[in-house]
Amino acid sequence: MNINTTKVISLLFFIFSAFYLYTAYQIQVFAFDENAPFNARTFPIYLGYAGLFFSGLKLILPDPNTIKVQHKTLEYKKTAILIVIAIIYGATILKVGYFLTTSLFLFSSYYFLGERRWVLMFLLSFPFVAAFMYLLHGVLDIYLRDPFLQSIGVMG
């Protein structure tokens, strides 16, 4: 069976809008605000209905511009690896510090994307991040938390 993915996304959006609308009705407002012409839940309720309306229309109306994605040509594996590396980067950046995690993130991303020119990979990770850190922290005075560099005494 050929499933139209746009319709599936529209159905998911319809369900999401229904959930949003349900949650909007659950928003606790002050007792004196309950019957006011406008309170904290008014706008979200309108949005919930708007979401149901547009996704519902998309579901029921014919779709003359069906998008056909050639899944075989898409690089799912490399994209997934990159996302996982980004998640690990996000998880470690605060504990380990900006310099080391960012440099390793860049180096490993180059590697997983197929790069093997080691010198260039190194130059565009460790020294590049150091220069960028200097620009942000040293020149623009934007604070960068880095426990690793602090522990080895490079950063104050």
Partner 1 sequence: MIEGILIGLTTALTFQNILMVMVGCFFGTIIGMLPGLGPMTAIALMIPITYGFDPATGLILMAGVYYGAVFGGSTSSILLNAPGVPGTVATSFDGYPMAQQGKAGKALAIAAWSSFAGGTLSAIYLLFMAPSLSKVSLSFRSPDYFALMILGLTAIAAFSSKGQFLKAMMMVVLGLMLASVGQDSLSDITRFTFNNMNLTDGISFVLVVMATFAMSEALTIILKRNDPTSAAKQVSLTELGSIKINKEERSKMYKTIPRSSIIGFLIGVLPGAGATIASFLAYGMERNVVNDEEKEKFGKGSVNGLSAPETANNAACSGSFVPMLTLGIPGSGTTAVMLGALLGFGVQPGPRLYMTNPEIFWSIIMSMYIGMVILLILNLPLIPYIARILAVPKNYLIPLILFFSITGIYVMSFNNFDIYLMIGIAVVATFMRLYDFPMPPLILAFVLGGLMEENLRRSLLLSNGSWEFLWDRTLTLCILLTTILIVVWHFYKSIIKK
With CB under 8 A as the contact rule, the residue among 10, 99, 104, 149 that binds partner 1 is: 10
Least separation in angstroms between residue 16's CB and partner 1 is: 8
By CB under 8 A, the residues from 70 to 129 that bind partner 1 are 70, 73-76, 78-79, 82-83, 86-87, 89-91, 93-94, 98, 102, 105-106, 109-110, 113-115, 120, 124
By CB under 8 A, the residues from 17 to 76 that bind partner 1 are 17, 20, 23-24, 27-30, 33, 36-44, 47, 50-51, 54-55, 57-58, 61, 64-65, 67, 69-70, 73-76
The single residue listed with the structure tokens 């009705």 is 25
Distance CA 90, CA 84 (A): 10
Q: Are 99 and 133 in contact (CB under 8 A)?
A: yes
Least separation in angstroms between residue 20's CB and partner 1 is: 6
Least separation in angstroms between residue 3's CB and partner 1 is: 12
Distance CA 5, CA 23 (A): 27
Least separation in angstroms between residue 150's CB and partner 1 is: 14
Residues sharing a CB contact under 8 Å with residue 73, sequence separation 6 or more, in sequence order: none
Closest to 92 measured CA to CA, from 102, 80, 78: 102
**Phi, psi at 36, each rounded to 5°:** -70, 155
